[in-house]
Each structure stands twice: as structure tokens, then as C-alpha cells.
Homo-oligomer: A and B are copies of this chain.
């Protein structure tokens, strides 16, 4: 019996080192050429040839001195710095692709919602409806300090801010131009009907925006909405607003519990449980045999930079692990996000206490190592736990993606787990087969539409 397909995204960042720090030094890695368009065109076309759903670009807008009290580890190891803007790269890839979804990240800190909505509509027009937006609120004090704040605003207040931001962009995308406002009638000399274009008159706590939106309605109007926050407020936000959420569970059972919880929140927000897709972050090492795969994995791990991983986790969690000894057990740390990783470590290593180095290695996420068949078996267990798709985390770029494309995807296609061709339509129509290009009526954006 053939299975439902998994959504597959290539997960990357417009920088040298995204998650598996240190591996930019590997000979298969082109990451030091991240400033060059050619690097990304090659990747995007590789993904498209294998019918990946999207290239998903994460982003950050600050660098904090979070490890050993300084920023040295970040800059030396190029841990997400230097980094270039993700939406600009996405724009540059439109012409090099035809079907691939193009998902960029933009924080509510970095762009005013009027300007942001305008740029996103431009991307959606130029790509004929292939863009997605990964909504983030930023966790970095330096990000805040780059935009005039003393430090990042508190977590819950950030999500209240995000809700107003969404209200503004929904009004612009959904409520400003009626569906039949544009006539483009050369003979009559009428491009648009002035009575069918509307100001939005937004007046909120942070924003005052008059409108109208300056772009006419794009294929999706609102780009496909992604979100990645794992905090309580982040999940509640995703349950209300997102169409796909990025999760980083350690094992299928953890994913199952998380998905059940969030699907409940989705229903309580007045949406259908399947209005939100769950995309699990996973990495892969594929070999023709288990042994070959394990051997390749060990070779990659030799280049892994534990300091870089510890710096990454320190920034994300707001605790400077560089002030602890690498071999110091850290089971006493009372930080949200760490406990799950520690529990996972202890289950896998009974009787051992995790050190900083263990935690750092585990933070890179779950990696499936094996033959195409054994990895496909494992992916079926993840699918049975409820995930809708996978963000493929690279170890080397484009090495990991080439390996997945050439060795794993044919096995997934055989089982129906991966698509063999693109369905027609926009990114939203491809993610939700049988549904329209625009957000459905249960989504809060629909409330901003004008009734005819």
C-alpha cells in the first residue's frame, strides 16, 4: 500500500555554518562560497530536479557575545555570521527555478509591516505564487540593539507584537484590493477600479498604517505562512497563524506528543487540525550499507566543532555554556529546551550524566544514518507519529542534499513517500492538495477580507 507523501524542504541559511558547525571545512562543502549566487542556483536546481517542495532559508539579524562572554567562537567558526539577507537571496533564485517553493525568514523587528507586505507581494508576483514566509520574533539582544532597543522585549510581549504585525499585513494582503479591482483594460483605458481599492486605516499599539497596499493582489495574496518557535507562546502563535510549523523533536514519540498538543490548540483557535502542517527537522547520512553510512557519519563527526555547537545553543537558550567546563555534567540546568535534550541523552545512555559537549552534540538535532531502506523505514515511523514533512538539515552543502537526492529520494518515491512531479499551482496549493491558492475561511486573515 502506497503511503501519503512527505513534504520535503531543503533547510539552509545564507551564511557559512548553519547547524553542523565545523563542517564548512569539509572538502564536499561549498559553504564558504555563500556570497556567490552560483552556489545557491546550483542548490536550488538540485532540489528542484528531485522535486523538493521548497528551499527554506532560516535567518538571524544579530550576533551576541554569548559564549565565553565574547563573539570569538561565532566569527572564527562562522556560526551564522557573516550572514546575508534571506529574502534577497530568495528573490535572486526566482528566475533560476520554476516550481520550487522559496521560503524566507523575516523578523517583526527588522522590517516595518507596510514595507514588508509590499516586498512579500512583489516576491509572490515575480514567483507566480511560490513564496513562503517564516515568521520570527528574534531572540537576540544584539538584534534588538541594531534596531534601537536596549534589549529584546520579553517573550510574551514579542508575541503580542507579532499578532499586531500579522493584523497589519493581513489587512494589506487580504483587505485592501478587492478580487476584481484590476481590469487592465487597454481599450477602455482603465487599469484599476478606484472604488475597489481601500485604505486599511490601521491604528494599533505599535503601528499606524493608512494604506492602501501598493501591489495588486498576488497569486497567493498572503504568502504561505511558516513558523518555528517552540516556546509556549510560539506554539500558540503557530496554532492561530501558521500553515506549517517547524519542529525539532528527538524521536517519533516526542513528535507525536507535541503534534497532539498543538493540533488541540489549532482546533481551539477555530481552525481544522489539518490546517497546520508539522515539518520535522532531520539530517541524514545515507550509505549503500549500514556500515558504509556509519563510517561516513564518523568521518563527518571528526570535523564537527563542539565549541561552535555550544556557542549556538548558548545564543538560543540565553545561557553561556562557555563558562562551564566541557566535561562538566549539566543535568542541574533549569532551562526550557535543555531538559528535553538531557532526557533524550539519558534514555540513550543509561547511567551516564550529560556534559556540555554531549548537550552541544545533541543540539544539532536528530540524524538518521543508514541504508536508504532503513532510513525510509525510520521515516515511516516519523510519519506514523504525525509529521507531514521534513526539513532536511545539511551537514555539508550541497553534499548532504546531493546524497539525499541521489540515494534516499528514489527509495522514498518507490514507497510513495516522496513526490515524482510537481502538482500545478502555487506553493499553498501544493502543500494543501485540493485547496485554493488563498488562505481558507478559518484563518484569521480571512476576517480582513471585504465582503462584496
Partner of A61, one of B82, B93, B111, B115: B115
Q: Are A61 and B145 in contact (CB under 8 A)?
A: no
A-B contact pairs, 7 of them (CB 8 A): A24-B191, A37-B94, A61-B115, A62-B214, A78-B191, A84-B118, A112-B148
Q: Is A114 an interface residue (CB 8 A)?
A: yes
Take A78-B191, A88-B119, A95-B37 as given contacts and tell me if A209 and B32 are in contact as well, using a CB distance cutoff of 8 Å. Answer: no
A119 CB contacts on chain B under 8 angstroms: 85, 87-88
Take A71-B194, A92-B94, A114-B147 as given contacts and tell me if A182 and B82 are in contact as well, using a CB distance cutoff of 8 Å. Answer: yes
Nearest Cβ distance between residue A77 and chain B, in whole angstroms?
7
Q: Are A63 and B24 in contact (CB under 8 A)?
A: no
* List of 9 A-B pairs having minimum Cβ-Cβ separation, nearest first: A78-B191, A91-B91, A145-B210, A84-B122, A35-B125, A82-B216, A88-B122, A72-B194, A85-B122
Q: Are B192 and A75 in contact (CB under 8 A)?
A: yes
Q: Is A286 an interface residue (CB 8 A)?
A: no
Apart from the given pairs A84-B118, A85-B122, A88-B126, 8 other A-B contacts in the complex at a CB distance below 8 Å: A24-B191, A35-B216, A35-B218, A71-B194, A76-B189, A84-B215, A93-B95, A142-B210
Q: Are B111 and A115 in contact (CB under 8 A)?
A: yes
Q: Is A229 an interface residue (CB 8 A)?
A: no
Q: Is A190 an interface residue (CB 8 A)?
A: yes
Interface residues of A (CB under 8 A from B): 14, 16-17, 22, 24-25, 32, 35-37, 41, 61-63, 70-72, 74-78, 81-85, 87-89, 91-96, 110-112, 114-115, 118-119, 121-123, 125-127, 142, 145-148, 177, 182, 184, 186-187, 189-194, 197, 207-212, 214-216, 218, 305
Take A94-B37, A184-B32, A194-B75 as given contacts and tell me if A114 and B146 are in contact as well, using a CB distance cutoff of 8 Å. Answer: yes
* Chain B, residue nearest A78 (CB): B191
A41 CB contacts on chain B under 8 angstroms: 95
Take A25-B189, A63-B212, A186-B24 as given contacts and tell me if A89 and B37 are in contact as well, using a CB distance cutoff of 8 Å. Answer: no
CA distance in complex: A305, B70 (Å): 62
CA distance in complex: A74, B197 (Å): 12
A212 CB contacts on chain B under 8 angstroms: 63
Q: Are B191 and A16 in contact (CB under 8 A)?
A: yes
Nearest Cβ distance between residue A200 and chain B, in whole angstroms?
9
CA distance in complex: A147, B209 (Å): 6
* Copies of this chain: 2
Take A22-B189, A189-B305, A191-B78 as given contacts and tell me if A126 and B92 are in contact as well, using a CB distance cutoff of 8 Å. Answer: yes
Partner of A191, one of B62, B77, B186, B197: B77
CA distance in complex: A368, B242 (Å): 54
A81 CB contacts on chain B under 8 angstroms: 192, 214
* Chain B, residue nearest A118 (CB): B85
Take A41-B95, A142-B210 as given contacts and tell me if A82 and B35 are in contact as well, using a CB distance cutoff of 8 Å. Answer: no
* Chain B, residue nearest A90 (CB): B91
CA distance in complex: A138, B125 (Å): 25
Nearest Cβ distance between residue A429 and chain B, in whole angstroms?
19
A194 CB contacts on chain B under 8 angstroms: 70-72, 74-76
Q: Are A190 and B76 in contact (CB under 8 A)?
A: yes
Nearest Cβ distance between residue A98 and chain B, in whole angstroms?
11
CA distance in complex: A125, B36 (Å): 7
Partner of A211, one of B110, B146, B305: B146
Q: Are A191 and B32 in contact (CB under 8 A)?
A: yes
Partner of A89, one of B71, B126, B190: B126
A14 CB contacts on chain B under 8 angstroms: 122
Q: Are A126 and B209 in contact (CB under 8 A)?
A: no
A122 CB contacts on chain B under 8 angstroms: 14, 84-85, 88-89
CA distance in complex: A333, B17 (Å): 62
A190 CB contacts on chain B under 8 angstroms: 76
A87 CB contacts on chain B under 8 angstroms: 88, 119
Q: Are A215 and B82 in contact (CB under 8 A)?
A: yes
Nearest Cβ distance between residue A99 and chain B, in whole angstroms?
14
* Chain B, residue nearest A206 (CB): B148
* Chain B, residue nearest A213 (CB): B82
Q: Are B77 and A37 in contact (CB under 8 A)?
A: no
A208 CB contacts on chain B under 8 angstroms: 145, 148
Q: Are B146 and A210 in contact (CB under 8 A)?
A: yes
